Amino acid sequence: MGTSVFYFVATFSVIFSLMVIFSKNPVHSVLYLILTFFTFTVHYILLNAQFLAVVNFIVYMGAIMVLFLFVLMLLNLNKDNEPLKSNMVKIVGVIAGCCLVVTLVGSLKATAISDPVVLKNPNLGLLKNLGKELFGPFMLPFELSSILLLTAMVGAVLLTKKEKA
Amino acid sequence: MDIAFVIEKFILVTIIFAISLLIAMYSTYAERKVAAFLQDRLGPDRAGPFGMFQPLADGLKMFMKEEIIPTNANKWLFMVGPGLAMLTACIGTAVIPWGSDVQIGDRIVPLQVTDINVGILYIFGVVSLGVYGVMIGGWASNNKYSLLSAIRAASQNISYEIAMGLSIIALLLVTNTMSLKEIVEQQHGWQWNIIYQPLGFLIFIICAFAETNRAPFDLPECETELIGGYHTEYSSMKLGFYLFAEYINMFVSAAVMATLYFGGYNYPGMDWVLLNAGPLFGPLIGTVVFFVKIFAFIFFFMWVRWTIPRFRYDQLMHLGWKVLIPLAIANVIITGVVIAIIEKF
């Protein structure tokens, strides 16, 4: 049952992420991205990582995407004022896209395809276990990443301050 | 998964859904009666005894009104908005424990749809999704006032979520669990969390007002500046859904506050009652107590709405970022230090 649910949800993930790219309206793109994140939440639940699932739900769907939507609504982009891109930019885009495809195919070939993911500790994603792992063996990387985030936050606040003349 | 389990959950979900709709419906009536009481008026008194049928009449009116979709509106999203507002309002009830386990025959039925071990975070997630209904509806209306309102709703929601999350962190330090069921069980009798977390509760309730768009923080529907706010272009039952979602949100947040800080279905002297009332009616009395607490909170929401004038937008942001967030952080630190000291000695 787990596998069929996975394939069902995975299909939606792929469809929604394609819709993000193909929809013309940026607000629609963001809404499809929200749906994509929702399918990711379901994937996390299928992997028994409840904490990660709900954090993905809160942080990505509930906060970051609201900000994306906020900015897009403020900019109010539509077809009339969308800047026309030159051919040069289009060609560069195609080349970059092809490079990405080559990289992805290469890395997919490098991994063994028929190796199913076996979770060594299936309950690792539960709240208590995750907390013990994060604040035990992975204490240093955890704290370092929080300092990194704090730095980014302070930097962002600093950027918005006007320089004194 | 046996069939009885599925039926049991299905019945429970249906009952909870029906109750939340009923309470939301009569909240509109109560709101008008409370407003009338506070302003020394009578309020609705024509439809039925004491105007009891007024919500039915209002609902019927909403259904009968003409559906208008503005020409330049984004049709699909215009319809999705109110539906999303209703959906996010309703799904929060899934993790709230409505009472202790009831014994029917020899089957033990928990009065909670699901007890996930990240219950608080789930509630928090649902709250943070709540803004999408307003944002999508406001944007799709293609009206600058609606858009302004949607943007206000988004920034207000995000700002107050931070303080709310921090106040929950302090609560989690006390309870050591995120499961709502376990949190309620810990508050057995009169040991309610409000005793240990008064400041946390104060921050939480202020944020709850902001997250449910209730006065004094109903900036997204500030008539004097924004005509009607995000639902300016809405008519008929779509408007009804937006108004209704607000009352369901109020009900759910009242239930969450009663669960987290006011002991849920616990009350002083409950052991004696449980012993004497038997395994079926004992827990149900607890449920009744829980609903009394919820109604008290709903009344408090209304009381505040008709007492305190609306904030200005800069005041709202000032309160959120410069008062509540530092207070919440201080609360987390103090709680942590006190717990560390108690555990040490």
Structural domain contains residue B207: yes
The label of the residue with tokens 């240990």 reads B196
Residues B139-161: tens digit of each pLDDT: 888 888 888 888 888 888 888 88
Of B122, B129, B158, the CB nearest to A67: B158
| Inter-chain touch B139–A62, beta carbons under 8 Å | no
Between CA A65 and CA A38 the distance in angstroms is 11
Between CA A59 and CA A66 the distance in angstroms is 10
Q: In 3D, which of B14, B190, B182, B174 has the Cα closest to residue B94?
A: B14
How many domains does chain B divide into? 1
Mean pLDDT of chain A, nearest integer: 82
Q: Which two tokens stand for residue B146?
A: 């609606």
Q: Say if CB A32 and CB A15 are below 8 A apart.
A: no
The minimum CA-CA distance between B322 and chain A, rounded to whole Å, is: 14
Residues B171-194: tens digit of each pLDDT: 888 888 888 888 888 888 778 888
Low-confidence ranges of chain B (pLDDT < 50): none
Determine the angle formed by the axes of helices B131-140 and A65-75, rounding to 10 degrees: 20
Q: Which residue has the higher pLDDT, B332 or A110?
A: B332
Q: Using an 8 Å CB-CB cutoff, list chain B residues near A78.
A: none
Residues A17-43: tens digit of each pLDDT: 988 888 877 888 888 998 899 898 888
pLDDT band at A1 (very low <50, low <70, confident <90, very high): low
Domain span at residue B296?
Answer: 70-344
Strands B99-104 and B107-111: antiparallel
Structural domain contains residue B83: yes
The minimum CA-CA distance between A105 and chain B, rounded to whole Å, is: 36
Contact residues, B window 27-46, toward A, CB-based 8 Å cutoff: none
Q: How high is the pLDDT of residue A100? A: 93
B15 touches chain A (CB under 8 A): no
Of B117, B124, B147, the CB nearest to A58: B124
Select from B1, B120, B134, B135 the residue whose CB has the most chain A CBs within 10 Å, as the one to mutate to test that interface. B135
Q: How high is the pLDDT of residue A118? A: 61
Structural domain contains residue B11: no
pLDDT band at A119 (very low <50, low <70, confident <90, very high): low
Q: Residues A5-16: what's their mean pLDDT?
A: 88
Structural domain contains residue B148: yes
Structural domain contains residue B331: yes
| Inter-chain touch B129–A62, beta carbons under 8 Å | yes
Q: How high is the pLDDT of residue A99? A: 94
SS3 for chain A is: CHHHHHHHHHHHHHHHHHHHHHCCCHHHHHHHHHHHHHHHHHHHHHCCCHHHHHHHHHHHHHHHHHHHHHHHHHHCCCCCCCCCCCHHHHHHHHHHHHHHHHHHHHHHHHCCCCCCCCCCCCCCCCHHHHHHHHHCCCHHHHHHHHHHHHHHHHHHHHHHCCCCC
Of B117, B124, B158, the CB nearest to A66: B158
List chain A domain ranges: 2-125, 126-165
Class of domain A2-125 as given by CATH: mainly alpha
H/E segment holding residue B238: helix B236-261
Structural domain contains residue B153: yes
| Inter-chain touch B157–A54, beta carbons under 8 Å | no
Q: Residue A34: phi, psi to the nearest 5?
A: -60, -45
Q: Which amino acid is residue A136, in one-letter code?
A: G
| Inter-chain touch A62–B161, beta carbons under 8 Å | yes
Q: Looking at chain A, how many residues does it have?
A: 165
The minimum CA-CA distance between A159 and chain B, rounded to whole Å, is: 18
Q: How high is the pLDDT of residue A150? A: 93
Structural domain contains residue B292: yes
Between CA B219 and CA A165 the distance in angstroms is 35
Q: Say if CB B260 and CB B183 are below 8 A apart.
A: yes
Structural domain contains residue B29: no
B76 Cβ neighbours under 8 A, 6+ residues apart: B140
Of A27, A69, A127, the CB nearest to B118: A127
Q: Does the predicted model carry a pTM greater than 0.90?
A: no
Between CA B44 and CA B301 the distance in angstroms is 20
Q: Say if CB B115 and CB B95 are below 8 A apart.
A: yes
